[in-house]
Structure 1
Amino acid sequence: MSLPCPRALLLLFAFGWVIALPAQRPGGGGRPVSGRVYGKVIDAVSGKGAEFATVTLFAGSRDSVITGTMVRGNGDFLLEPVPGGRYRLQVSFLGYRTIEQTVEVTRDRSEVDLGNLRLEADAGVLQEATVVRERSPMQMLVDRRVFNVDKDLAARGGSGVDVMKNVPGLSVDLEGNVEMRGARPQILVDGRPSSLTLEQIPAEEIERVEVITNPSVIFDANTTGGIINVVLKKSTKPGYSGQVQAGVGTNDRYQAGANVNLREGRWGFNLSANYNDGTNVTDGLTLRTDLAQGAPAGTFEQRTDSRSGRRSFGGRFGADVQVSNRSVLSLSLGSRFHNMSGRESQTFENRASDGAVSTYGTQVNDTETRTRSLNGQLAFRHKTPRRARSGRWTSRTTAGTATAIRASTSGASSPMAARTPPRRASRTTWADRTTTSGPSSSTWWTR
C-alpha cells in the first residue's frame, strides 16, 4: 500500500483549515454588546421631574448622535439599545444649565443607572420671570380623570363623601355608598387599600381624587367596577411647613385642623390632626285627601322631623425615606374617633270626612354609632424606567371597634307610648395583610 504524496497531504491540511475558520467564535461569545442607560432628571430646587428635558447620547465626536429621548413627567428617561462603548451624555433644558457626563457601556456593565441628575437654573439666561396659572379643577389624563379638591369650595368642612358628590361621573346614595357606571368601585387611599371609610376622611385632608374607569393589568383582578384613588395631602418641598385652619357654618357646623411637614435630605415627616362637628336637619310634611265618588272621604297627615349629628377627631403620622433615586420606604400610623347620633320622629293622623280623628300615632327612633380605629402601614416601592419591572411591597395592620345603639318609642290610637329597650351591638375587628405587586422575577429589586 502506497502512502499519499506530501503535496496531497499539504493540500488536504490547508483545505481543512480554511473550512474551520468560520466555525471559530470571535472574542466575547460572538454577540455584540447592547445595553441600556437610564436615570432621573429633576429640578434641583423643587425635586420634581423635569418633563420634556432632552437627553442625548453622543459618540466621541459631539456631532455624532447615537440616540436620544425626552424626559417623562416623573423625571425618568431610558436610552436603549446602546452599543458597547464610551459616550458623552448631555441633558439640556431651556432656562437650565446643561449637564454633561461620560457614560461607558461594557459587557460586564450593560445597564447603567445614572441616578438623579439635578438641573440648576441658569441665572444668566433667565433673570426673573413670574408665570401664574390657576390649575383646572378637572384634568383628563391617559388612563384616569383627576379632580382637584382644593378648588371645590362646597366640600369645605365636610367629609370624603361630600367630595365624591361633586366628582363628575360618580353618584352617592343616602347611605354614602359610591357608584360608578352602576357598579361599586374599589376605593384606595394613596394607591393602597385602607380601613378608613370616606365618611371618616375629612375633605381638608384630600388633595385630589383620581377616577380610573378601566383599570390596567397592574391592578388587582377584582377592580372591574373601576377604581377611585383618594390622594391625601403631603409635602414634597424641602424644609418645613405648617398649616392651621378653622371653620364655622350653619346647623352648628364646626371644623378645625392643623398639619406640619418636615423634609430634609432623604427624610420626610408629616403630622396632622383634625376635628369635625356638624348637625343635619330634615323636616317633612305629607298631606293626602281620600275621595269617594268625587267627594272627600278622609285626610291623612304625617310630619317627619329628623336630626342627626356627626363628630369626629383623628390624627395621622407619616415618615418616608428615599432609599435610592427609585426606591422609597414609608411608614404611616393613623387613629380616628367617629361618633354619629340621630333622632327621627314621625307623627301621623287620619281624619274622617267630618273632621273627627280616627287614628293617630307617633314613632321616635334614636340611633348612636361610635367607631374607634387604629391603622398602621409599612410600604416599600421601587420604580424603574420600564413600568413592567416596577414593584411594591405593602404590609398593613388595622384594628377597630364599632358600637351601635338603637332605641325606639312608638304608640298608636292612644296618647300612651311604649318604649322598646335600647339594643346594643358591638364589633371588634383586627386585620393584618401583606401584599406584593410587580414582576415575579426578583431582579427588579436591583434594576
Structure 2
Amino acid sequence: MKCIIPLLVFIVISLEANAQDPEQQPTGDHQPTLQVRSNRIYGKLVDENSGKGIEAASVQLYLAHKDSLYEGMLTKSNGNFSFSNISTAYGYKLIISALGYEPFEQIIAASPGENGRFEKDLGNIALHPAIKQLADITITATRPALEMNIDRKVFNVDKSLTATGGTAVDVMKNIPSVSVDIDGNVELRNSTPQIFVDGRPTILTLDQIPADHIEKVELITNPSAKFDASTSGGIINVVLKKEKRFGLNGIVSTSVGVPRVLNGNLSLNLRQGKLNFFMSGGYNQSGGKAKGKTLRENKPGGVTKDYFNQYSVNTRFRKFSSINFGFDYFMDNRNTFSITQRFGGGNSKSDEVQEQEYLNSSKVLAYYGNRVGDSRWGFNRNSTRASYKHTFPQEGRELTADITYNYGKGSSNSTILNRYFYPDGSIYKPSATVNNDGRNNNNQVTFEANYLHPIGENAKFETGLRAYFNDYKSYFNVFGYDNGQETKLPLSNNYKYTENINAVYGTYSQKMGTFSFQAGLRAEYSKFDGLLIDNAFKFGYQYPKSLSNIWNALFPSLFLTQRIGEDDEVQVNFSRRIRRPNFWQLNPYIEINDPVNLRQGNPQLQPEFINSFEFNYSKGFKGGNLLGVLYWRNNPNDITQYSDTITAAQYEQLQNAAVDPNAILNTWVNASTTNRYGAEFTLQYKAGTNFDITPSINLQYRKVNARINDIDLSNKGFNWDARLTANYKIKTDKKPVFNNLAFQVMGNYESPRVIPQGKMLSEFSVDFAIRKDLLKNNRGTITFGINDVFNTRRWGTIYDTENFYQDAYRRWNVRNFRLSFSYKFGKADFSLLNRNNRGGGGDED
C-alpha cells in the first residue's frame, strides 16, 4: 500500500496527460468510429512584464496572399486562442490587438507535416504594454495588507512596517488569528499549524527566514482533502519573493539596531527570453537579555511542605545566513521546468544564570542555589527542488510534479554548573557539573504530483499523490562530574527514527449559478519507527495497521458556498484531519535545561483525529470587508500536556544532574476528547486614502475530558484574543519632507487560557513603526521600528494540582529598536547576452 497506490496513480496521470489529443473529444449522441484530427493554429497571449494571460484580446487570421480575413476570435481568460480546420493551401498572417498593448503581427506558412497534418503551436506570444504618459499624473495600484478570501487569508508582508528587518517570527506576530509563544512556536486559533515554504514542508524554523525575503503569508484554517491530512491545526504557507518581470530587477536592504541587531538582504531577478533567474541572500543577527521567574508551593496530598523560587537571566545571541537561487525555463508555452536551491546556516549562544531559593513551610530560607549554564549550537539547512508544469490547450487543464530534498545537520554543546549554600554562605552540598555534547543529521524527500481536469465550464476534477520520507539521527551524550569523577548519565539520548507518509487524493468541484461545492477524499498511510540506540528501545506507530481499521487512513472534506449578491458570500465546510505525535512527544528522554521543570516524551502516544466544522460569512462594503467565522473542533484522543512531580526513583536516577527533588516532569498523554467552540471576526476598513484599520477578535470556549491513573485532568474555560493594526500615510505637496511618511501601530492581547491542570497567563504587546519613501519614484525606503514597545511580551503558566502550585513565566525575545533602509532597482531592457545593448528602456519600478 505504501508505494503501489501512489505509483499506479502517477502512471495513470502520466499516460492520460500524454495520450490525450489537444482537440476536444466530441460530445452528445454522436459516436463516430473514426475521428479525423483537423489542422489548426493555436497559442497563448501573455503580458510581457507579468507573464499572465491576456483575456478578450482580438486575434485575427488573414489569408496572406489576399489580405482578407479568414477567421477571428477573442482570447479566453487564460489568454489561449485556437483556429481549427486550417487549409494547408495558403499562407496566413496573424494580427493581434489588445487594449493597453502594442499591436502584433506574424506570418505563418501552412505546410503539412509528414503525416499530412498541419498543427502550429505559436507558444506564448508576449505583448508589450503601450505606455502613455499623462502629464504629471501617476496611477498606482496597491494590494491591501490583508486579503480575506472565503477559504484563506493572504497577508502581504511588504505592508508590515513593524516586521521590516526582522524574521518570519516578527511577521507572524502581525497576522490576525496567529499567536507566537515564548520559543517562537506558532499557533493558529490556539492549535499548532503546519508550516510550509512555497507550498512544501520545510526543515527551516521561522526565525531562520528573513522577513525581507517573504512576499506573502497564506492562512488556511480548514484545509481540503488536497492538503496533507496532518494539517489539523491549519496551514501557514510562507511564499518567498520571486519576480518574473522581464529584465533585471532587485532590492537591497539593511538594518541596524539594539540589542545587537544587524541584518542585510539582497534579492535579484533576471528575466530574459525563455529563462528567468532569481537569487536572494541574507544575514540576520539579534541578541538580548531575557528574564524568567518561577514561584512554587510544594503541597503533597494538599499539605504545604515547602516553597521554591527561581529567578533567571538568559543572555542570547543568534545569527543566521542564507542564499537562495534558481531558474525557471519556459521550454514552450505548455511546459515549464524550474530548479530552486537553498543553503542556510547559523549558530547561537546562550549564557544563563539562575538564582534559586529553597524555603521551608514557614517561608524561611533553608538554603539557596546558583546555576550557571553555557550553551552553544550550530546548524545548516539546505534544500533542492525540481519542478515541472505542463498546461494543456484546454483552458485550466494542467499537470504539475516536483521533488524536494531537504537536508542538514547540527551540533550543540553546553556546560551546567550547580552550587548550593546555606543562608550564611557556607557550602550546603558539593557542586555538580553537567556537560552535554550533541550532533544530528536530517534528510527529507518529498515527491508530489497533481493533475487538474476541467469538466465543461463550471466543474473540475483534481487528483494527485504525495510521498514523504524523513530520516533523522541524533547523538546526545551527557556527563556528570562529582568529586572529580566523570559519569555518563542516563540523560544521554542517542536515537534515530524514520517517518514515511504516502497519500493519494481526489476532489470534485462544481458551480451552479451562485452556488458551488467541492467534495474530496484523501487516503494516507503513515509509519513512524524510532530507536533509542543505547538500549535498543523501539517506539512508534503505523496507521492503518490493517484493512480492518481503514477509516484511520481516510480523510474526507466538503465545502458548500453560496454567493449572495455582488459582495456577500456564505460557506459551510467540514474536514477530517490527523495530528501525529512528533519525535519529542514520543521520545522518553528527559530534558533538564530547567532543574525544576523537566520534559519527557511518552512512547505510548497515539495520533489524534480532528473533526473540524466552519461557517464563514464574508461581506463587502464601501471601504472595507467583514469576515465572520463560527467554528467547532472535536478532537478524540487529543494529545495534551500532563505534569506531575518526579518520583523518588527518577530523582535517584537524575541527582548527578543537580535536579530538584520536587521538580515537575512535563509529558504528553492522550486525553479522551477536547472540544473547541469559537467565533472569529475580522474587519478591514479604509477611511479615505490615507488611513486604514484592521481589528480582529477570536472568542473560544475549550473543554478537555481526560483521566490519567485515576486522576481527573478535565478542565474547561473561555478565552479570547484581539489584535488591532492601524496605518496612516501622509500625502501632501506643501511639505515634501513629510510626503509619503507612513505610520503603523499593532497591538495584541491574549487572555488567560485553560490547560488540563491550570491556565496560561494573559499576554499583551504593542509594536510601532514609521516609514518614509524617498528618492526618485520612491525607490528608497527608510523604516524605524520598535518591537514590543512596553517590553511586556512574555509567556507564563499557572499549574494548580493536588501536589503543587506553580506560577511561572519566561521570555525569549526582548524589546528591540531597528533602523532599516531598502532600495529597489530595475532595468527592463537589460540583456545579459547582448553586450552592445544601448536600448533606452531605463529603470522600471
TM bucket by the smaller chain? 0.7 to 0.9
Which residue, out of 237, 240, 254, partners 1:229? Answer: 237
> Are 1:41 and 1:71, in contact at CA under 8 Å, matched by a contact in 2?
no
Q: Is 1:96 matched with 2:109? A: no
Q: Could you say which residue in structure 1 is the equivalent of 2:357?
A: 349
Superposition pairs for residues 25-424 of structure 1, below 5 Å?
39-44=43-48, 46-49=49-52, 53-54=56-57, 71-72=77-78, 76-77=79-80, 93-97=98-102, 115-122=123-130, 130-141=138-149, 143-284=151-292, 302-349=310-357, 357-384=365-392, 389-414=397-422, 415=425, 416=427, 418-424=431-437
Distance 1:250 1:49, change over 3 A: same
Aligned partners of 1:192 and 1:422: how far apart in 2?
37
Structure 1 vs Structure 2 CA RMSD: 4.3
Distance 1:66 1:153, change over 3 A: same
> Are 1:53 and 1:91, in contact at CA under 8 Å, matched by a contact in 2?
no
Deviation at 1:385? 6.3
Which residue, out of 427, 431, 438, partners 2:440? Answer: 427
Aligned partners of 2:249 and 2:119: how far apart in 1?
39
Deviation at 1:278? 0.8
Distance 1:153 1:186, change over 3 A: same
SS in 2 for 1:341: strand
Aligned partners of 1:221 and 1:356: how far apart in 2?
54
Deviation at 1:390? 1.7
Aligned partners of 1:149 and 1:252: how far apart in 2?
24
Select the structure with the greater relative contact order (CA < 8 A; seq sep ≥ 6). Answer: 2
- The amino acid of 2:209's aligned partner reads I
Aligned partners of 1:347 and 1:267: how far apart in 2?
60
SS in 1 for 2:201: coil
Deviation at 1:251? 1.0
Which residue, out of 434, 437, 441, partners 2:450? Answer: 437
Deviation at 1:39? 4.6
Deviates more, 1:278-287 or 1:313-322: 278-287
> Are 1:315 and 1:334, in contact at CA under 8 Å, matched by a contact in 2?
yes
SS in 1 for 2:158: helix
Identity %: 33
Aligned partners of 2:275 and 2:323: how far apart in 1?
20
Deviates more, 1:415-424 or 1:320-329: 415-424
Q: How many matched pairs? A: 399
Aligned partners of 1:386 and 1:238: how far apart in 2?
27
> Are 1:53 and 1:92, in contact at CA under 8 Å, matched by a contact in 2?
no
> Are 1:304 and 1:345, in contact at CA under 8 Å, matched by a contact in 2?
yes
- The amino acid of 2:45's aligned partner reads V
Aligned partners of 2:202 and 2:296: how far apart in 1?
48
Aligned partners of 1:135 and 1:353: how far apart in 2?
62
Distance 1:283 1:210, change over 3 A: same
Distance 1:275 1:263, change over 3 A: same
Deviates more, 1:163-172 or 1:376-385: 376-385
Which has a greater percent of strand?
2
> Are 2:73 and 2:81, in contact at CA under 8 Å, matched by a contact in 1?
no
> Are 2:373 and 2:415, in contact at CA under 8 Å, matched by a contact in 1?
yes
Distance 1:56 1:218, change over 3 A: farther
- The amino acid of 1:330's aligned partner reads S
Deviation at 1:57? 8.6
Q: Could you say which residue in structure 2 is the equivalent of 1:18?
A: none
Deviation at 1:197? 2.6
Q: Could you say which residue in structure 1 is the equivalent of 2:708?
A: none
Aligned partners of 1:367 and 1:358: how far apart in 2?
30
- The amino acid of 1:272's aligned partner reads S
Distance 1:195 1:109, change over 3 A: farther
Deviation at 1:142? 5.4
Aligned partners of 1:88 and 1:258: how far apart in 2?
45
Deviation at 1:240? 2.0
- 1:397-423 CA-to-partner distances (Å, cap 9, x unmatched) read 232111122332223344556242311
Distance 1:59 1:346, change over 3 A: same
Aligned partners of 1:406 and 1:40: how far apart in 2?
60
Deviates more, 1:307-316 or 1:49-58: 49-58
SS in 2 for 1:422: strand
SS in 1 for 2:162: helix
> Are 1:33 and 1:110, in contact at CA under 8 Å, matched by a contact in 2?
no
Deviation at 1:68? 5.5
Distance 1:397 1:35, change over 3 A: same
SS in 1 for 2:249: strand
> Are 1:374 and 1:400, in contact at CA under 8 Å, matched by a contact in 2?
yes
Aligned partners of 1:120 and 1:363: how far apart in 2?
68
- The amino acid of 2:451's aligned partner reads G
> Are 1:32 and 1:83, in contact at CA under 8 Å, matched by a contact in 2?
no
Aligned partners of 1:185 and 1:109: how far apart in 2?
54
Q: Which has the larger radius of gyration?
A: 1
> Are 1:255 and 1:276, in contact at CA under 8 Å, matched by a contact in 2?
yes
> Are 2:56 and 2:74, in contact at CA under 8 Å, matched by a contact in 1?
no
Aligned partners of 1:91 and 1:171: how far apart in 2?
51
- 1:127-158 CA-to-partner distances (Å, cap 9, x unmatched) read 66631233311113454321111121222232
Deviation at 1:432? 3.9
Deviation at 1:203? 1.3
Deviation at 1:436? 2.6
Aligned partners of 2:268 and 2:394: how far apart in 1?
35
Where structure 1 has 5 or more consecutive residues not aligned to the other structure, the ranges are: 1-25, 290-297
Deviation at 1:354? 11
Distance 1:67 1:328, change over 3 A: closer
> Are 1:327 and 1:380, in contact at CA under 8 Å, matched by a contact in 2?
yes
SS in 1 for 2:123: strand
Distance 1:406 1:134, change over 3 A: same
Deviation at 1:200? 1.7
Distance 1:353 1:192, change over 3 A: closer
